Amino acid sequence: MSGMAVGRRAGSYVCGVDAAMDVIGGKWKVLILWALSERPHRFGELRRAVPGVTEKVLAAHLRELEADGIVHRREYEEVPPRVEYSLTPRGVALNEALEPLGAWGKANVLGQAPEPVA
């Protein structure tokens, strides 16, 4: 269950939706967004909030989200290293734009068989 695609067509998009898919097209990105929408998280917190993700992939996704202007990375210069990730205004807007999709998924994928369309 890996090796999807979508990824980084960098400008050759047909519509806004597939452009957005490029941003949230990682396996754990929406889960990261969801966690950060509640409150800022530290790296270790995120790892626990997104069960199953590895450090490598989590770090890679965070870097991409940061590059896309979705998450903000704040590094505290303290003795025990501490980094906090939070949503940028753009990230907040993305999350809000994702809400109808979440409602659809909740109603049409979760909690029922794939058949009952009505």
Options 31, 40, 42, 90; binder of DNA; rule CB under 7 A: 42
Options 2, 17, 51, 77; binder of DNA; rule CB under 7 A: 2
For a copy of itself, what does the binding mask look like between residues 27 and 66, x meaning CB under 8 A?
A: x--xx--x--------------------------------
Residues contacting DNA: total by CB under 7 A: 33
CA distances to 23, 94, 113, 115 from 73, rounded to whole Å, are 17, 17, 40, 43
Of 101, 87, 102, whose CA–CA distance to 37 is shortest? 87
Q: Output 36 or 53, the one with its CB closest to DNA.
A: 53
Q: Using CB under 7 A as the criterion, which residues of the chain lie in contact with DNA when the complex forms? A: 1-8, 25-28, 42-45, 52-57, 59-63, 73, 80-83, 85
